[in-house]
Structures are given as structure tokens and as C-alpha cells.
Amino acid sequence: MLTRPLGRTGLKVPVLGFGASSLGQEFRPVSLDEALRSVRVALDVGLNFIDTSPFYGRGMSEVLLGIALRDIPRDDYLLCTKLGRYDLTHFDFSAKRVAESVDVSLHRLGTDHLDICLCHDIEFVPMQQIVDETLPALRKLQQSGKVRFVGISGYPMKLFRFVLEQTDLDVVLSYNQYTLQNTRFADELLPLLTSRGVGAMNAGPFAARLLTNAKLPAWHKEPEAVKSACRAAAELCQSRGSDLAKLAIQFSVANPAIPITIAGSANPENIRNWATWAAEPIDQVLLAEVQALLAPVKNIGHIEGLPENN
């Protein structure tokens, strides 16, 4: 699979990475066999950047990854996990919890170091703590060798500028904000990240199933106009003998300024399809038709986190 440099980190990352949130049964019940095979298939097809969090399955994702990766040489994959979010409403970004969280994640994952550790969904807390306490604690762990590179993740664009105006970051992870329907990550943030040498990571090319043929989960927050436009785009792709999910993957990985897009599934067949699609040329005619359908709802999203962080 094609690789690209991740900012100034020196890491070479695949254009498509494996998101392990599904291993934590965040979307449906997952069998042990499905979980383990998904990891192996991801590695087999070149998705050797793995993203997880103690929040996913409240530890289950990290535990299953640790089992799946047990016999895989550590140099064969890159591992990213997070800290600070541990349940739907449980957040703890204190320096004490930073050290504890990393040690617990290392134990679950069966490794002695993380390639990347991110502060997870910081829009839900007063963000000044992230600058004053959390990131300095992470930098200490970086100096100790437990973490190679550090950064932040979240949904609102404001949070990235807030932190970068006060301190340096190695990487950032934005989700659902560089898709066929929403390109705010590229429009509003990429020039700053590029100028600072910060590695840009994109997650959620399907926007939580919005850009697929799958039924949307009840908790999906996008406005009905967005959902309706995306359903029309899915029907258009089907009428052309294609799949909106295929176009979504291809669009996200095509931007050379975004080194990696992370997609998650506990279905090995999905993962194989994504790797195949990522290597195929995009149908420019179909892309133009879909973008025209989505133009009236382009960059429309939802509010996530504390109001002052949006």
C-alpha cells in the first residue's frame, strides 16, 4: 500500500489505516474470531497503522489488539492509542491519570511503547487543562521512551487552533471532517498543520456510516438534510453499479496533504474491499455527480462537546 510521511515525525504511514473501535463492540456485537481475523487481514493488506483507545469497549479494543498482535513483530506495525476519555461522560486529563493510562494501555496492548498517543475528544473538557497539564505530562512520557509522538484528537476545528496557538504538537487526528460531504479539515486547518510540520491524520471517511449503504445508527447527529442528501448519493452510486463507500474511501485517501485516513471495521471482508478500492483510480465522473448532489449540504455538521469549544 502507498505510504506517506507523517509530518515531521519521520514515520511513514499507509494512506489507509485500521481503526479498532469496532473491536470494542461500539457498533454491534463482535465475536472473538471476527476481531482477531480483522486485525490479521488489516496487516495482510497493508493497513499496518492501528488506531485504538481505552474508550473503545472500555478497554476491550486494546485487550483484543494485544492478543491479535502477540505474535506479530513490533516493527511490522504502528500503534496509536489515546487517553483522557474512558466512558461516555467520564473524562480525566490529569497528569496522574496520563501516566496511569499509558501504563495500562501498554499492558493491554502487550508492548513497551506507543508510536502515537493522543488526548481523546478534548472538546468535552476545559481545553486549557490540555495545554497546561495533559500535554506536558505526555511529553515526559515521550522523554522516557514510552511514547514516541503526541497529539490531540476531536471533532470541532476550533480545538486544534486553540492548542497549536499555545504549544507544539507532533500529530493531530480529526474525524468526520474530511469526507465527500465535509472537507473542513482540509479547508480550515491543513495550511496551518503543514506550515508547522504537524502530521495530519483523518478518521471516519464514512462519517459513521453516513456515506455507505448501511442503516444509520440511532445516535447519528447530522441534520436530516445531510442524511437525505447522502442517501440520494448512495442511490446514485448503486444506479451506476458502484458503492458510495468505495467513492468515500477513494476521495479521502486521494489528498496528498493528508498522509493517512483511518477506517474501522470488525468485518474482514470490508477491510479487504477498502484496500482494493484505495488502490483503484477514482471514477471522476461519478465523483462530480456525487459532489453536485452533496453541494447544498457541504460542510454542514453538528455541535460536539462544550459550547465554548465549538
Give the per-residue pLDDT at 122. Answer: 98
Q: How far apart are the first and last CA of the chain?
A: 36
Helix locations, 93-241, DSSP H: 95-109, 128-129, 135-144, 157-164, 184, 190-196, 224-239
Which CATH number goes with the domain that contains 177? 3.20.20.100
Within-domain flag for 230: no
3-state class percentages of the chain: helix first, strand second, coil last, to nearest 5: 45, 15, 35
Give the per-residue pLDDT at 25. Answer: 78
Residue whose cell numbers read 470490508: 270
Instruction: Tell me if residue 147 falls in helix, strand or coil.
Output: strand
Within-domain flag for 147: yes
Within-domain flag for 310: no
Within-domain flag for 224: no
- The total number of structural domains that make up the chain: 1
Within-domain flag for 259: yes
Out of 56, 155, 175, 178, pick the active-site residue: 56
Domain that holds residue 184: 12-208+246-282
Q: How far apart, in whole angstroms, are the C-alpha atoms of residue 299 and residue 226?
A: 10
DSSP string, 58-105: GGHHHHHHHHHTTTS-GGG-EEEEEESB-SSS-B---HHHHHHHHHHH
Per-residue pLDDT of the chain (310 residues; tens, 9 = 90+): 999 999 999 999 999 999 999 887 777 888 889 999 999 999 999 999 999 999 999 999 999 999 999 999 999 999 999 999 999 999 999 999 999 999 999 999 999 999 999 999 999 999 999 999 999 999 999 999 999 999 999 999 999 999 999 999 999 999 999 999 999 999 999 999 999 999 999 999 999 999 999 988 888 899 999 999 999 999 999 999 999 999 999 999 999 999 999 999 999 999 999 999 999 999 999 999 999 999 999 999 999 999 999 9
Within-domain flag for 133: yes
Q: How far apart, in whole angstroms, are the C-alpha atoms of residue 251 and residue 205?
A: 9
Within-domain flag for 218: no
Q: Is the pTM of this model over 0.75?
A: yes
Task: Tell me whether residue 56 is one of the annotated catalytic residues.
Answer: yes
Within-domain flag for 182: yes
